[in-house]
A and B are shown apart, each in its own frame.
Chain A
Amino acid sequence: MESLLNRYRNITVLLLVIMAQLVLLAISAKNDQDVRMIRVWTVTAVTPLARIIEGVRGGGSGFLHNYVLLHDTSEDNKRLQSEVDKLRLENTFLKNELNTAERAKALQVFQAHSPSKMLAATIFGIGAGSNAKVVLADRGTVNGVQRGMAVVTPDGIVGKVVAAYPMASQVQLITDPEFAAGVMTKGGARGTLKGQGTPLCRIDYVPFEDKVDGGEWIYTSGDDRIFPRGFAVGQVKSVRPGQPFKEVLVEPSGMQRGLEDVLIIVEGVHQDIPDAPPGIQPVYIAPAPPGAPSPAQPVQPGNPVGTEADRLESAYKALGQAQGHDFGDNRPGEKAPDYTKLGQPSAVPAQAPKKEPDVANPAPPTPGASPKNPPPDTVRRSNQAGGGPGGQDR
């Protein structure tokens, strides 16, 4: 028997193993229930190896992608860097254009809503001298500017013209130590604003019995015959009691947003002291009624309004339009319009037909009109509702 088993040992083992697996297969196939232990053992045995290989593969793949295959990254980086630089320049240029447009719009709105006749000017230089707070504006006697005229922005007063030249004028800022202007509060306390050479101005001659609070708004009083009454000056920073006068320091509001575009008051009109302080937000202007001409339409040449400078500006704009050139919307290096054709009939479009006055956005008063003419009631109401000279609210 033993020899028989030895003789057929191999085939016996084979049959036993196959039988065992057949049983296993039968159980698995019939009941759909595996001998889970075998699968668990196998997976447990294989998983650590798989993890090691996956780790090696991931590391190798990362190394390959990050170091070996990045031979042209330097080129790409240079190209992208140059693209970023180019876009940055373009972005700066567009931002400047946008700022310019926003300032121009704010000035235009303020100019349109103020009863005083004003002339837009751009500051293009600063006066020599370490202590003198003087700047140069690009409007002069040719444009109707005279010495002693007030210079303002929608946020407040800026200074006064101390010298007028044919093509430019010198403006003394309110922070200049020699500057002085008559000011008052809403409550009626009066004094003299003086520059100190520092960002803050001082108000002299405020009687100690007058009430002035910190944070209160100061307005021009009109007593100096330079600044019409009712223009914002700034906010009171500090008040110190004194005998016989108080010491009041004011932070000017007119130069808070920089000093690039200003308005020169050609013919001043006194106004009431506004109930609310001036704001710096742009004024909302409702769209024109159907059929009415667009308020954004530029002033047509041949029907000039405003000062001589305004007429000149209209002529330049018309010239630009005739030659397909948009001022302020051109890239650096683009061809400028041919100014030699200025004044020629072909360069200026025909006169536009007269239009109904735009109530929501009235045009500035025409030259020769009485500056004491009050603005239309609707405009006045919008000014008061807006809370400031520009109808703006802070």
Chain B
Amino acid sequence: MTYSGDRLLLSSQREGQESRFRGWVLVVVPLAALLFQVYVPLFFQFLSFLEMPLLVVLYFAIMRRTQISGLMIGALVGLAQDSLSKNPLGMFGIDKTLVGYFAASVGMKIDVENGLVRLLLCFLFYGFHQFFYWVMARALLSQQLALDLPRTAILGLLNAIVGIALFAFLDKLRERA
């Protein structure tokens, strides 16, 4: 059995080293994700299911392994996503803040280099994101949104598959220790 398959949980803080990224990566990648979200579906409608900002927040949160950093990235990306949508400011912001915080918390405990773990994290956090958004829309904005669980599950799986490829690409932008 391989290492990644053998030990999913980290035994010490030392094993879970914080990943470092260059400044421009932290700016350009979220911007590109936001741009993808608003631009690509114009030409490829079927790609509108992809939650690229969520995947980017998730990646930076689990790789930096600090909760404050994760929640700040989530808040900023979420607010930017709100700015580009017709939502009131804060809907995606709060949602992604929580995702960033919890993802960073998870990243501190388990080995997030593992592909299967990444797939599972993407799937679960996509579900969490959609569910929490649905709760907030009903509770705070009194919007009667429908939550289609099978559809959400399928889209979560698709996002998770894309997320693995995206994470592999973003791994190359990490600074070497």
Q: A residues near B, CB below 8 A?
A: 9-10, 13-14, 17-18, 21-22, 24-25, 28-29, 34-35, 38-39, 41-43, 45-46, 49-50, 53-54, 57
Nearest 7 Cβ contacts at the A-B interface: A25-B90, A28-B88, A42-B83, A21-B90, A39-B83, A10-B67, A24-B90
Q: B residues near A, CB below 8 A?
A: 31-32, 34-35, 38-39, 43, 67-68, 71-72, 75, 78-80, 82-84, 88-91, 93-94, 97-98, 101, 140-141
A10 near B93 with CB under 8 A, answer: no
Which residues from chain B contact A18 at a C-beta distance below 8 Å? 94, 97-98
With A17-B72, A17-B75, A41-B83 as given contacts, are A49 and B90 in contact (CB-CB < 8 Å)? no
A46 near B93 with CB under 8 A, answer: no
With A28-B89, A28-B90 as given contacts, are A42 and B84 in contact (CB-CB < 8 Å)? yes
B68 near A9 with CB under 8 A, answer: yes
B75 near A21 with CB under 8 A, answer: yes
**Cα–Cα distance between A43 and B79 once the two chains are bound (Å):** 12
Of chain A, the residue at the smallest CB distance from B94 is: A21
B141 near A29 with CB under 8 A, answer: yes
B83 near A17 with CB under 8 A, answer: no
For residue A12, give the distance in angstroms from its CB to the closest CB of chain B: 10
Which residues from chain A contact B39 at a C-beta distance below 8 Å? 50, 53-54
A46 near B89 with CB under 8 A, answer: no
B89 near A35 with CB under 8 A, answer: yes
Of chain A, the residue at the smallest CB distance from B71 is: A14
A17 near B35 with CB under 8 A, answer: no
A21 near B83 with CB under 8 A, answer: no
A14 near B79 with CB under 8 A, answer: no
With A34-B88, A43-B84 as given contacts, are A24 and B101 in contact (CB-CB < 8 Å)? no
Of chain B, the residue at the smallest CB distance from A32 is: B88
Known: A10-B67, A49-B32, A57-B43. 7 other contacts (CB 8 A): A17-B72, A18-B97, A21-B94, A22-B90, A25-B94, A25-B140, A46-B84
B94 near A22 with CB under 8 A, answer: yes
**Cα–Cα distance between A24 and B97 once the two chains are bound (Å):** 14
For residue B26, give the distance in angstroms from its CB to the closest CB of chain A: 13
Which residues from chain A contact B94 at a C-beta distance below 8 Å? 18, 21-22, 25
Of chain A, the residue at the smallest CB distance from B91 is: A25
Of chain B, the residue at the smallest CB distance from A28 is: B88
Which residues from chain A contact B72 at a C-beta distance below 8 Å? 17
Q: What are 5 contact pairs spanning A and B, CB under 8 A?
A: A17-B71, A17-B97, A25-B89, A41-B83, A54-B39
**Cα–Cα distance between A43 and B97 once the two chains are bound (Å):** 21
Which residues from chain A contact B78 at a C-beta distance below 8 Å? 21
